[in-house]
Structure 1
Amino acid sequence: MTVKDKKQETMVKQQTFDSEEAFQASLEYFRGDELAARVWVNKYALKDSFGNIYEKTPDDMHRRIASEISRVEKKYINPLSEDEIFAVLKDFKYIVPQGSPMSGIGNKFQIASLSNCFVIGNSGDSDSYGGIMKIDQEQVQLMKRRGGVGHDLSHIRPKGSPVKNSALTSTGIVPFMERYSNSTREVAQDGRRGALMLSVSVKHPDSEEFIDAKMEQGKVTGANVSVKIHDGFMQAVLEGKNYTQQYPINAENPKYTKDIDAGKLWKKIVHNAWKSAEPGILFWDTIERESVPDCYADLGYRTVSTNPCGEIPLCPYDSCRLLAINLYSYVENPFTPEAKFNFDLFKKHVGMAQRIMDDIIDLELEKIDAIIEKIENDPEDAEVKRVERNLWNNIKTKANEGRRTGVGITAEGDMVAAMGLQYGTEAATDFSEEVHKVIAVEAYRASVYLAKDRGAFTIFDAKRESKNPFILRLKEADPEMYEDMVKYGRRNIACLTIAPTGTTSLMTQTTSGIEPVFLPVYKRRRKVNPNDKDVRVDFTDEVGDCWEEFVVFHHKFVTWMEANGIETARHFTDEEVDELVKQSPYYKATSNDVDWLQKVRMQGRIQKWVDHSISVTVNLPSDVSEELVGDLYVEAWKSGCKGCTVYRDGSRSGVLIANDKKEGAGDKDMPEKRPTELEAEVVRFQNNKEKWIAIIGLYNGKPYEIFTGIQDDEEGILLPKSVNKGFILKRKDEEGNTRYDFQYSNKRGFKTTFEGLSYKFNKEFWNYAKLISGVLRHGMPIEQVVNLVSGLQLDSENINTWKNGVERSLKKYIPNGTKAKGMTCTDCGSEHIIYQEGCLICQSCGTSKCG
């Protein structure tokens, strides 16, 4: 046994808890909130690769984090104590490290980064195949360490451009979008898929193809896409003029130019966003103009893209870690006429948050050293490891040099309501802007104090920043702080962001990020045994399971009820619930109620006090017009937003299903007479202890038929493991009988034919496969075919295992966003279940089930 193994064994012998034990303890910690308890145990409780859990409640986690941060503090003068740090972390009340920092700080069981966000890219405008492949590998290497990744495609030459290789002309941007998307889908760590942002400038001649790429069903499903909009383009749209695209996009003397109708392309952007919620919009000139790091563009800090959610614009190989301040906790006497925001405590904690974030950079540098050490000790050839090693060395350089931080917030919606204000109104926006102004000034003040004690980031230069609009606003807001910054420098090149806080807000039990409340009251279902005593059955589903319906109040809505003497334990009728909501500050202030134009104006005003960007979505009902979406984008640009994303209710699933027919009508484009040749994909699965293979014939990318058989057997389907695509050919044998053959190309391009797919079934398997193929050919929607296969009542244990393999093979073809009809979540009882990359996802609580 190695020293490492002995150490691991010793750690395993420490006190551990099973998942149920940790869940019950956490359930008590979260005061009966099952969703918060499940999320914490599954995502953030310290665990090893054997499944042993080392933390019973979030108190243990917060003590782990506080211990590590205090260890870093001791390196510097006037250190914070572990107890001081623990006090602001405890109960998720004030300061909340997000995602990777929460799970990774002090975690000795995994070698992973603490960074939430990365951007990568090649130097200059290189678009060689070598550079493109390097980006692909770097992207995957980061995703396996838990990072979300963004990169820009504007450097790739347009389609049809001459190239000096056998292709003669360039394929353009779209094929590489698909490559990067597929790489993302291949990466999964502990059930967590990679996250990717792809961007391109509207100035690029291929930008229209980029904008259209995700409109085709099944394409680029592993990436978010955003188009970088320039001020000149927006002016051309508003003035009805042409716009000149060029390549290279930043060249003074471009090799290629093209004049386009700006209004026509704008309408396409708006239409696609209206229909599918993508592409997102990045107002790139605003981003570059406002960016403090871009004052150092010539030193390697030119912003090129953003992280997957768009709130951190970054230069190549820079990274950022995220932390949220719980705004609700600073409202004293919430939901009463005496409500008051404690600005003194808030200012103190913003300063602590910035200091803790700087400590986390030191912890990240330790993590990067551990990653580099692991790479060096890996058995692969040095050439194989070269890209990964250089990647982390580049990231280490940027983290050490710029020391970028991401201090943000959560619970904006609850803070506003607790102050007695209605989200989206002018009064609420005035108050929110003042809060964010304080965050900006105090975070930068803390960074100046840190520079005095610990030294400024190495390339700080006050003259470079002297005309930056964000720095000038800080100077006006606090001239004394600015003078100190000129004198002592600043510890961090940039400090602030507003990120989405999905699971974080579940644990703070507040609204998410800058967003309003989603719903103050909603219904859930809980499965019950109708034979149990005192059980109320409100709903019986199609398979006979019984459910109790119960009203769920948003946590802070309960606080409002208590503050106003309303009994929270009694059963309310629907009419009583509606009346309660009308009386509350959450009335007309939900994500679907807030005035959309007011929301983007609010975003623009807050953006002036955030040096990075803001992740926010404008939620729209399904019946809004495309013109309204366009108006929102124009207003966002005029208001100073750095980006804008809209989501029209039902839009994602609508476009991905690509079904304008009546529900259940099926796909009438499927030919009932089988073509003689079909493209095919190979899917491998386990049938009991045997390895099986499914070959799925595709028509226009959709399943049309399926063949299965045993793999690697004398009488089975003998295909090399590298084969995953080919063609199914329909032929006649010597006796005139129909047979189906599979043809594929080997590595040298030579075609190999595997004869007689249908002969590889035993009789029972073949009959079921014919049934499945028949309903596929007649256009039954794929999700219904999966339900059909799942519901087959088969006696043989072996055929049931085969059935499960076929079901898994077909699930991958269900368009993302498709609603799983007739299904309810086993955790929360919600009917909002959708398919996502072959898995079932509950949109209400986030529970997922794959396989």
Structure 2
Amino acid sequence: MKENLTKALPQTYSQDQAFEAALNYFKGDDLAARVWLNKYALKDSDGNIFELTPNDMHTRIAKEIARVEKKYANPLTEAEVFDLIKDFKYIVPQGSPMAGIGNPYQIASLSNCFVIGNSGDSDSYGGIMKIDQEQVQLMKRRGGVGHDLSHIRPKGSGVKNSALTSTGIVPFMERYSNSTREVAQDGRRGALMLSVSVNHPDSEDFINAKLEQGKVTGANVSVRIDDTFMQAVKDGADYTQKYPIFSENPKTSKVIQAKELWHKIVHNAWKSAEPGILFWDTIINESVPDCYADLGYKTVSTNPCGEIPLCPYDSCRLLAINLFSYVENPFTKKAAFNFDLFKTHVAYAQRIMDDIIDLELEKIDAILAKIDADPEQDDVKSIERNLWINIKRKAEDGRRTGIGITAEGDMLAALGIQYGSEEGNAFSLEVHKTIAVEAYRGSVALAKERGAFTIFDAEREKENPFINRLKEADSKLYYEMLEYGRRNIALLTIAPTGTTSLMTQTTSGIEPVFLPVYKRRRKVNPGDKDVRVDFVDEVGDSWEEYVVFHHRFKQWMEVNGIDTTQNFSQEELDELVKQSPYYKATSNDVDWLSKVSMQGAIQKWVDHSISVTINLPNDVSEELVGDLYLKAWEVGCKGVTVYRDGSRSGVLIANDEKKEEEAHADTLTPFPTKRPQTLEADVVRFQNNKEKWIAFIGLIEEKPYEIFTGLIDDEDGILIPRWVNNGLIIKNKDEKGATRYDFQYKDKRGYKITIEGLSHKFNPEYWNYAKLISSTLRHGMPIEKIVDLINSLQLDTESINTWKNGVGRALKRYVADGTKAKGQTCSNCGSENLIYQEGCLTCKDCGSSKCG
């Protein structure tokens, strides 16, 4: 009897077991397997893994969705839900829902993004600090946060405190940015969007804030631009900035030349990929929730990627529909898009999204219970508690959803349609119009069964342009909505789908393919049987080259009887691409103005917004960036971001204008000469020749400042849990007054654990080399140059060479993506067009990548 009452412990798996099973599930796709295992597999705070493959995860999600379904009429069964979401084929809950649904080990929200803000135009110091606390509380629950700064009075305005005048917006940008950088989210930092209206007198300071190196590194920034300003730019007219913004009786106002500020926005975006632009009048005029602005649904900012404009304390959960899976007979002459199945699944997707709102409300109740149970005093907990009460109220009243897509590029290729062509744009428009109509039809059907969102009022929405487009497209749907209402206040978005697309093994979101085929290298032992050595590097390591095909390009090859295991030459690969539907349809091929026009047309059928970046080559002019921004406004985009290749590494050292060459990474930018007592630190592990090494990398403004390295897990080495990825390096004094560097981290219970005297834990030889490298870091030598220096060291022992290679790899993690590698050529094609990308040297001409 006692045995029957004993609750069976859940099955657990080792990291290796789960990885091998996931690798098999993803058919050998190492990256997809690792992403799923690290980000989405169910695990507890001790690192125990409870899911072996994504099938287990999909079962977990399906059980929870089916449990909610039983509350309502005509419920879906667990099996029906599982069939819709299994194998990432049709419907894919994104990010927080995938990780959090049915997860008993984590008290976190299912929402991907939030917007916060004070009621009215309050800019009191207390109100500003409240926002700071709220964004931190949201980020620790895994959410990305956005808020607007237009309510803060401009620099020099009078205030009734000891300061007498306001400091303006920029200091608070830095405060919010620093708070974001301090919050850990399972190995990553939080995401923040800061916005301001171009009508604000401090908007130029806001626009310039990120140009100074090391400033506002924890936030994306976007400018809210109104139609009057854009028209003034076109007409070469003056524009009046005000505080409060757009006030009829402003406390402060100034007249500016619209074109001068416009050129500053364009220049900065060309230079550093920020600020992004939000066409605010378009957002507000098109917004269905803003029909209820007086009831608390006035849109004030967007989430960090810009795809969800939100009112204060509202949130949204994301889901993607895999468009590729609706192409029957892909890559053949019989290829066709199954619109009937697609329409059915869009309705199911909306139903699942509404179920996820109920699950989110349960999660919020758990968060509130956790807050109530915490030992802090009530006045300490009040801001966090009120925050979640406000979020819960908005979720209950509006029931906002975020249905999007992935695999747009692969869908078109599978149909034999070129991405970016007139035919491609027209077909994409038809698909997104179908999503809009069927998702709204699904929401009306849910209102019949479950009731409309609590404040639904058809009279309020009758002049809304988006609602009227639905009426024109399907009058029957419109009149049913008048009769029954709608379950959800707003429904649609197109969000980035980075990790989602890795698991669907498709192109990302609305974007075209980046490269259909490229080459990579893996290190090999030349003594092993059947090993092919294609390249020997400068330190004598042997590498085998292998071709990596984009998954759906490989499928095209298989459909056309092409042997995917063949060792192709570069010329043969180029010819393959020319024969494929991906030819002239990569991110570097697509006409930029055409892509902006496509975004504007599709935006008409997306009630929230679209997150899309226009990728440009390095040599484009500022004038082209300005033309793209202007075109985006004219065709009805709600927002736009451009990224000029390599621009992230070209930020200015200071606000004064410098030549491009002077702004390059070769410019030395020393750190402060006095070392702070405490530094944030990353922990990097590496292994060579079966030796396990560890590096503690002290950071200032997320850039390496010092490094300590040595062997791990030997009798003289560092013993530290594998899950520890960051902590603090603290400069102390020992009993004799000598300098000592300690590493401190928090254990699973939150207790601080200190490893004293890193210098005494490592071999003195490694310590001395580490001091040399740290000195070059502190004096601002570019990291890629330091890596070259380390590689050039002539060291005697094999063990030291192992250390040298590992330290070089550890530091390359911090080279800014897009940084050009000078003085090196591609061993595959001989090109000098090499850049660092995620720590690897990548050839921009042939795609070859070296990560050693």
Both proteins in one fold, TM over 0.5: yes
Q: Is the 8 A contact 1:592 1:621 kept in 2?
A: yes
Aligned residue number for residue 501 of structure 2 = 505
> CA, structure 1 residues 810+506, in 2 after alignment: closer, same or farther (shift >3 Å)?
closer
| Higher mean C-alpha deviation, range 540-549 or range 617-626 | 540-549
Aligned residue number for residue 738 of structure 1 = none
> CA, structure 1 residues 321+775, in 2 after alignment: closer, same or farther (shift >3 Å)?
closer
State the alpha-carbon separation in 2 of the partners of residues 663 and 303 from structure 1: 38
SS at match of 1:180: helix
Is 2:160 the partner of 1:164? yes
State the alpha-carbon separation in 1 of the partners of residues 448 and 778 from structure 2: 72
State the alpha-carbon separation in 2 of the partners of residues 252 and 421 from structure 1: 52
Deviation sequence 1:135-184 (CA, Å, 0-9, x none): 11110111111101000011111011111111111111111111111111
Q: CA deviation at 1:250?
A: 3.5
Match of 1:713 among 734, 737, 761: 734
Aligned residue number for residue 781 of structure 2 = 780
State the alpha-carbon separation in 1 of the partners of residues 75 and 380 from structure 2: 43
In the alignment, residue 410 of structure 1 is paired with which amino acid?
T
Match of 1:278 among 257, 261, 274: 274
SS at match of 2:118: coil
State the alpha-carbon separation in 2 of the partners of residues 411 and 665 from structure 1: 36
Q: Is the 8 A contact 1:681 1:695 kept in 2?
A: no
Q: CA deviation at 1:784?
A: 3.8
Q: How does 1:451-850 map to 2 (within 5 A)?
A: 451-655=447-651, 660-661=660-661, 666-667=666-667, 682-683=678-679, 711-716=732-737, 771=772, 775=776, 780-782=781-783, 784-785=785-786, 833=836
> CA, structure 1 residues 787+438, in 2 after alignment: closer, same or farther (shift >3 Å)?
same
Q: Is the 8 A contact 1:199 1:226 kept in 2?
A: yes
State the alpha-carbon separation in 1 of the partners of residues 767 and 329 from structure 2: 70
Is 2:99 the partner of 1:103? yes
State the alpha-carbon separation in 2 of the partners of residues 773 and 338 from structure 1: 62
Q: How does 1:163-562 map to 2 (within 5 A)?
A: 163-562=159-558
State the alpha-carbon separation in 1 of the partners of residues 664 and 268 from structure 2: 25
Q: CA deviation at 1:790?
A: 9.8
> CA, structure 1 residues 716+483, in 2 after alignment: closer, same or farther (shift >3 Å)?
farther
In the alignment, residue 268 of structure 1 is paired with which amino acid?
K
Q: Is the 8 A contact 2:199 2:246 kept in 1?
A: no
Q: CA deviation at 1:685?
A: 7.2
Q: Is the 8 A contact 2:818 2:835 kept in 1?
A: no
Deviation sequence 1:261-297 (CA, Å, 0-9, x none): 1001101111111111111110000000000000000
State the alpha-carbon separation in 2 of the partners of residues 530 and 763 from structure 1: 33
Q: CA deviation at 1:667?
A: 3.8
Number of equivalenced pairs:
786
Q: CA deviation at 1:666?
A: 4.7
Q: CA deviation at 1:843?
A: 12
Q: Is the 8 A contact 1:657 1:818 kept in 2?
A: no
Q: CA deviation at 1:713?
A: 2.8
Aligned-pair Cα RMSD in Å? 4.1
State the alpha-carbon separation in 2 of the partners of residues 805 and 31 from structure 1: 30
Q: Is the 8 A contact 2:516 2:577 kept in 1?
A: yes
SS at match of 1:424: coil
Q: CA deviation at 1:478?
A: 0.4
In the alignment, residue 481 of structure 1 is paired with which amino acid?
L
State the alpha-carbon separation in 2 of the partners of residues 525 and 813 from structure 1: 21
Q: CA deviation at 1:492?
A: 0.1
SS at match of 1:221: coil
Aligned residue number for residue 746 of structure 1 = none
Q: Is the 8 A contact 1:682 1:696 kept in 2?
A: no
Deviation sequence 1:313-355 (CA, Å, 0-9, x none): 0000000000000111111111122111111100000000000
Q: Is the 8 A contact 1:656 1:817 kept in 2?
A: no
> CA, structure 1 residues 594+710, in 2 after alignment: closer, same or farther (shift >3 Å)?
closer
Q: Is the 8 A contact 1:437 1:609 kept in 2?
A: yes
Q: Is the 8 A contact 2:698 2:704 kept in 1?
A: no
SS at match of 1:227: strand
State the alpha-carbon separation in 2 of the partners of residues 620 and 328 from structure 1: 26
> CA, structure 1 residues 697+553, in 2 after alignment: closer, same or farther (shift >3 Å)?
closer
SS at match of 1:594: coil
State the alpha-carbon separation in 2 of the partners of residues 336 and 378 from structure 1: 60
> CA, structure 1 residues 684+25, in 2 after alignment: closer, same or farther (shift >3 Å)?
closer
Q: Is the 8 A contact 1:705 1:777 kept in 2?
A: no
> CA, structure 1 residues 538+841, in 2 after alignment: closer, same or farther (shift >3 Å)?
closer
Q: CA deviation at 1:218?
A: 0.9
State the alpha-carbon separation in 1 of the partners of residues 794 and 609 from structure 2: 54
Q: Is the 8 A contact 2:680 2:699 kept in 1?
A: no
State the alpha-carbon separation in 2 of the partners of residues 176 and 819 from structure 1: 34
Aligned residue number for residue 758 of structure 2 = none
Q: CA deviation at 1:793?
A: 9.4
In the alignment, residue 599 of structure 2 is paired with which amino acid?
Q
> CA, structure 1 residues 686+92, in 2 after alignment: closer, same or farther (shift >3 Å)?
closer
Q: CA deviation at 1:65?
A: 0.4
Q: Is the 8 A contact 2:646 2:817 kept in 1?
A: no
State the alpha-carbon separation in 2 of the partners of residues 459 and 668 from structure 1: 58
Q: CA deviation at 1:32?
A: 1.4
**Where does the alignment leave 5 or more consecutive residues of structure 2 unmatched?**
684-694, 709-728, 743-762, 827-832
State the alpha-carbon separation in 1 of the partners of residues 669 and 551 from structure 2: 49
Deviation sequence 1:703-724 (CA, Å, 0-9, x none): 7999x99625333379999xxx
> CA, structure 1 residues 794+526, in 2 after alignment: closer, same or farther (shift >3 Å)?
closer
Is 2:141 the partner of 1:145? yes
State the alpha-carbon separation in 2 of the partners of residues 694 and 569 from structure 1: 41
State the alpha-carbon separation in 2 of the partners of residues 666 and 633 from structure 1: 31
> CA, structure 1 residues 580+271, in 2 after alignment: closer, same or farther (shift >3 Å)?
same
Q: CA deviation at 1:787?
A: 7.1
Q: Is the 8 A contact 1:684 1:693 kept in 2?
A: no
SS at match of 2:405: strand
Q: Is the 8 A contact 1:682 1:694 kept in 2?
A: no
> CA, structure 1 residues 529+808, in 2 after alignment: closer, same or farther (shift >3 Å)?
closer
State the alpha-carbon separation in 1 of the partners of residues 412 and 378 from structure 2: 56
Q: CA deviation at 1:367?
A: 0.3
State the alpha-carbon separation in 1 of the partners of residues 767 and 506 from structure 2: 54
Q: Is the 8 A contact 1:475 1:481 kept in 2?
A: yes
The share of aligned pairs that are identical, in percent, is 73
> CA, structure 1 residues 330+693, in 2 after alignment: closer, same or farther (shift >3 Å)?
closer
> CA, structure 1 residues 818+169, in 2 after alignment: closer, same or farther (shift >3 Å)?
farther
State the alpha-carbon separation in 1 of the partners of residues 79 and 706 from structure 2: 63
Aligned residue number for residue 827 of structure 1 = none
> CA, structure 1 residues 132+823, in 2 after alignment: closer, same or farther (shift >3 Å)?
farther
In the alignment, residue 311 of structure 1 is paired with which amino acid?
E
Is 2:76 the partner of 1:47? no
